[in-house]
Amino acid sequence: MELERAVEGYLRHVALERGLSDHTVAAYRRDLAMYADWLRDHGVDVIETVTPALIADFAAERASTEPPPASSSLARLQSSVRGLHRFLVREGRADDDPTGRLRPPKAPRRLPKALTITQVDALLDAAGPAPGSDDAAAADPAAVRDRALLELLYATGARVSEIVQLDVDDTAHGDLLRLRGKGDKERVVPVGSYARDAIEAYLTRVRPALAAKGRATPRLFLGVRGAPLSRQSAWLIIQEAAERARLTAHVSPHTLRHSFATHLLQGGADVRVVQELLGHASVATTQIYTHVTVDALRDVYATSHPRAR
């Protein structure tokens, strides 16, 4: 089969039968156009004549271009090529899949970035005054809500999607909070006094007025029109607080989750306890945070031990 016909058939498949977005299909089209051009340059016009050796040469050549492409871009390119050949085999248009031995590039390990405890304090104060402080009585209602939101994110290490899905009744269990995570898996996490006080202030002073502006909803956090607070709105609240706190590091809802885990481990918490609190299915996912604390230990050692250097 000619290269163009093979590529177009696969693109129709991913667009119509798999229902991929226009953006994704466009990315596949660019990748496969590059692949088809490379094959023609190497004397290949018929897709069935592609060999594993050609696939390996193509992958190696793309990986060695200057400037080096991102691992994610290489992985997507390889996925596009692999998908094309597997499609042709499934459709009976080719006997073999030459991409069987193709391995995706190894993505660089990115350690999660956590805020220091001082930075977290600054972020929380920038969101709104602490309950019981001198400024709390005159605080803007949105600031009371925002403080409660950030306090709860940091106190539980929850994903922002888990927090915005909370109902008011979920907070009625004292110092425990039931979260619904990925795959609707539930877990129970403790909530410290700072977050409980902030939630109580929000429920007492702010939420009733917000709820009166919209349709009845059990959701805990509401927007200014009374609708449930969205993930995007929560992200903007954190961004604005970070700007007011003059934090130069990128701060997102996940930053507070990373900070939660890192500070627990730095305080001596067992990694399996942190795994349970974060809702990770595997302890291997949680262990990435141990590298952060090891780096901190190394810094302390380097600056404190007389023979460290």
Catalytic residue numbers?
A: 159, 182, 254, 257, 280, 289
Q: What share of the chain is helix, strand, coil (3-state, %, to 5)?
A: 60, 5, 35
* Residue 222 phi, psi (nearest 5): -120, 155
**Closest of 123, 145, 144, 122 to residue 135, by C-alpha:** 144
- Give CA–CA dist 262/269, Å, rounded: 10
Alpha-helical (H) ranges within 110-172 are: 117-127, 141-156, 160-164
Contact between 211 and 226 under an 8 Å Cβ cutoff? The reply is: yes
239, 241, 242, 243 alpha-carbon torsion, rounded to 10°:
90
The amino acid at residue 95 is: D
Q: What letter represents residue 36's amino acid?
A: A
Give dist(CA 207, CA 144) in Å, integer: 10
Print burial letters for 258-289: b (CB count within 10 Å at least 16), e (below 16).
bbbbbbbbeeeeebeebbebbbbeeeeebeeb
| CA dist., res. 272 & res. 270, Å (int) | 5
How far apart, in whole angstroms, are the C-alpha atoms of residue 77 and residue 71?
A: 10
For 47, list phi and psi in degrees, rounded to 5.
Answer: -65, -30
Residue 185: φ, ψ to 5°:
-75, 135
Asked whether the beta carbons of 175 and 156 are under 8 A apart, the reply is: no
